[in-house]
Chains A and B, each alone.
Chain A
Amino acid sequence: MSQREGSLEDPQADSPVSFLPHLEAKIRQTHNLARLLTKYAEQLLEEYVQQQGDPFGLPGFSPPRLSLAGLSGPSPSHMGLPLSERLRQDAAALDALPGLLDAVRRRQAELNPSSPRLLRNLEDAARQARALGVAVETVLAALGSAARGPGPEPAATTALSTANNAAGIFSAKVLGLHVCGLYGEWVNRTEGDLSQLVPGDVA
């Protein structure tokens, strides 16, 4: 394992690796993007719950927790994984999210056709997730780590679309809420994982 991979696995053990300037710049850029998208994800969630109506926006609202096959939120054990594996999982989740966000947008176009801001935010989120995922994969490739492990099953998006269309409207609203929540969780997690790579930001 190269020195770089060694430091990626355990960035806290030794002094930070002296990355090439362009790689440093790419890491900073990707980290900044993740930080920005974390804020956008919060705004998307706020807009989403507002358009679905109460109780979606009320404190303490906790619908049944749904998991989508192939994509769930970051596990509690995520932080214990090697950094390279964490970033791989981040990239995999970001790769799955655009399809899910698109499915939610299509459903919301039927439920909230007069809410252009929500629809635009969902479309933007899909694009942003894709961009961040590609950026993380680029960083991983530059660091000599494989970009992706076993990726999310494409059928997850198909299943969501099928279920979305067949489900009652309340269920569709709940599904969309979970997807928006997952988006926020994963961009936030990605930001946290990348922060450990940013030169000078290593704890």
Chain B
Amino acid sequence: MPAGRPGPAAQSARRPPRPLSSLWSPLLLCVLGVPRGGSGAHTAVISPQDPTLLIGSSLQATCSIHGDTPGATAEGLYWTLNGRRLPSELSHLLNTSTLALALANLNGSRQQSGDNLVCHAQDGSILAGSCLYVGLPPEKPFNISCWSRNMKDLTCRWTPGTRGETFLHTNYSLKYKLRWYGQDNTCEEYHTVGPHSCHIPKDLALFTPYEIWVEATNRLGSARSDVLTLDVLDVVTTDPPPDVHVSRVGGLEDQLSVRWVSPPALKDFLFQAKYQIRYRVEDSVDWKVVDDVSNQTSCRLAGLKPGTVYFVQVRCNPFGIYGSKKAGIWSEWSHPTAASTPRSERPGPGGGVCEPRGGEPSSGPVRRELKQFLGWLKKHAYCSNLSFRLYDQWRAWMQKSHKTRNQHRTRGSCPRADGARREVLPDKL
């Protein structure tokens, strides 16, 4: 809006003035108008009453006295806005009973209940008041995102607009309807996950798309977001995996075993669930994330520092639920669970990866050691059923005995090479 002209909503400024005294019911009239100080029994009315204006616009207002005392005059009256006296050059006498005010380039309202424009008598007493609402119309809300917890509800949040503050109370209403039929529904539980959010707790259909949008309204206008179309099944999240346990792997100083349970709410449906693990050293803020744990409920962290406390968390993504093709939404992380690796005099390896049971070691020094071990086995024994467990046992034995890697001992069901002397490793590692 160009400066100097009131906005369209200032039509309210043209409402006929209502004397303050006529606003009260007859029951109250008889007890009003107690004179204060030397002001006499004056009443006054400000026009316009409670106008709504765009930021930067101007306002012409008047304070008209309706006095019973002969000689009541607007001489000496003055204005305040939010308690601050306005410069006298902004006002002038229109006639003997009316003081006019001209405000230009208005700023946004200081409080949502409106700026208080007050007309005062010469002695400072209040004759009349009017509340100004100065702001901006709402912008189009955007960036709507929704998620469903265990397919039971739907929570959505949005961004109100790039401009930010409207200086007016702006009401946001989340609407939704089934795409192919049904009536518009209005979400009722607001501010559940922030100021611009709403929660639909029940009665949601699956396997059929919803249309969702947000309507923003204030005194200066309204705006509507684009429509988001989604199927509840495509935006499912779940609870963090419960019962996360972290424990040592025997005496292995660089490994910890992590076990958890499928989130119970969806445990019968999580055929393709993905899990993620993150862990950090106790006094660090840097998390390391293990991806692609896939659909299993245990994992082993390797390459850890010996004698160190680790915090571990797990989260779940129920993707593919009921055949959904969408990526799914990760749950919150589980509560941190702590455990420590065994202490050793020798410094252990620094990094860490998750090694699924029965799988190949991922990388780094573990792989190199395993290669050496396997190479040694091939040379000294005929083992058709080499197992990772066997490797673990060997490593533990290595650490315990403080010997070099090229030891000539082994254990297990592997058949011995001819002439080789068999020695048994201890059961407990």
Residues in A lying within 8 Å of B, measured CB to CB: 51-56, 58, 61-69, 111-115, 155-156, 159, 162-163, 166-171, 173-174
Interface hit among B125-133, B227-235, B307-315: B125-133
Given A64-B32, A64-B36, CB of A167 within 8 Å of CB of B113: no
**Neighbouring B residues of A114 by C-beta, 8 Å:** 112, 169
A156 touches B27 (CB 8 A): yes
CB-CB under 8 A for A66 and B32, given A52-B111, A55-B83? yes
CB of A96, distance to nearest CB on chain B (Å):
13
Q: Which 9 residue pairs of A and B lie closest in terms of their CB atoms, listed nearest first?
A: A170-B129, A54-B83, A55-B83, A53-B111, A169-B131, A67-B31, A159-B27, A167-B23, A111-B113
**Complex interface residues of chain B between 96 and 150 (CB less than 8 A to chain A):** 110-118, 125-126, 128-131
| Total count of chain B residues near the partner, CB < 8 A | 37
A163 and B18 CA atoms in complex are apart in Å by: 13
User: B18, A52: Cβ atoms under 8 Å?
Assistant: no
CB atoms of A51 and B111 under 8 A apart:
yes
A57 (CB) vs chain B CBs: closest residue: B83
The answer to whether A53 touches B129, judged by C-beta atoms less than 8 angstroms apart, is no
A111, A115, A159, A168 interface centre (most CB from chain B within 10 Å):
A168
Do B113 and A55 touch (CB < 8 A)? Answer: no
Is the CB of B420 closer than 8 A to any CB of chain A? Answer: no
Q: How far is the CB of B265 from chain A (nearest CB, A)?
A: 31
Which of B24, B31, B112, B116 touches A54 (beta carbons < 8 Å)? B116
Partner of B23, one of A64, A115, A166: A166
Is A56 touching B126 in the complex (CB atoms < 8 A)?
no
Say yes or no: is B285 at the interface (Cβ < 8 Å to chain A): no
What separation, in Å, do the CA atoms of A188 and B102 have in the docked complex?
44
A114 to B40 Cα, complex, angstroms: 39
CA distance A62 to B111 in the complex (A): 20
Cβ-defined contact, A168 with B50, below 8 A? yes
Q: Verify if B49 is at the interface (C-beta below 8 Å from A).
A: yes
Contact B116 A53 (CB under 8 A): yes
Give complex CA distance A172, B82 in Å.
Answer: 16
Q: Cβ of A174: which chain B residues have Cβ within 8 Å of it?
A: 129
Residues 57-88 of B at the A interface (beta carbon under 8 Å)? 80, 82-84
Q: Could you tell me if A112 and B112 are in contact, using CB atoms closer than 8 angstroms? A: yes
B281 close to A (CB within 8 Å): no
